[in-house]
Amino acid sequence: MSKDTSQPTYNLDELLDLINNPSRLHITERAWDDAMDLGFISEYDIVRQVSKLTKANFCHTMPSEKKLGQMQDVYKMDWQETILYIKLRKSDIGQGVVISFHTTL
């Protein structure tokens, strides 16, 4: 049976609690690079933006391309006259992971 991609894999409130805890937060190199390219200058800036997500921002869930067997929840939100795409997941060790943080091209 395949995963219903129209429903989040992870509880957003739990992910946001993890992401807002510096000892439980992991931002991937890709997400850092994406965020810096957009003008975000600190972990705080990224976390502050991610913390604005609501369940209404959920787009879909998808399998990870790099972590086989892992799922990623994709959220999109309006940001500076464009759409910001944010991929999140919970790691096996209980971290809130910001996987990517980019706009459409």
pLDDT digits (tens, 9 = 90+) for 30-84: 999 999 999 999 999 999 999 999 999 999 999 988 878 889 999 999 999 999 9
Provide the pLDDT for residue 32.
96
Is the pLDDT at 1 greater than 60, yes or no?
A: no
Is the pLDDT at 86 greater than 70, yes or no?
A: yes
Residues 6-26: what's their mean pLDDT? 96
Residues 79-100: what's their mean pLDDT? 95
The pTM score is: 0.92
Enumerate residues 6+ apart whose C-beta is below 8 A from 15: 73, 88, 89, 90, 96
Of 58, 47, 62, 54, the residue nearest 13 (C-alpha): 54
> Which residue's structure tokens are 């999140």?
88
Is the pLDDT at 29 greater than 60, yes or no?
A: yes
Provide the pLDDT for residue 100.
93
Provide the pLDDT for residue 3.
67
Backbone phi, psi, residue 74, to 5°: -105, 130
Provide the pLDDT for residue 49.
97
Distance CA 103, CA 85 (A): 6
Enumerate residues 6+ apart whose C-beta is below 8 A from 86: 49, 50, 53, 74, 75, 76, 77, 98, 100, 101
Structural domains of the chain sorted by starting position, each given as residue range(s) with its CATH number in brackets: 17-103 (3.30.2310.40)
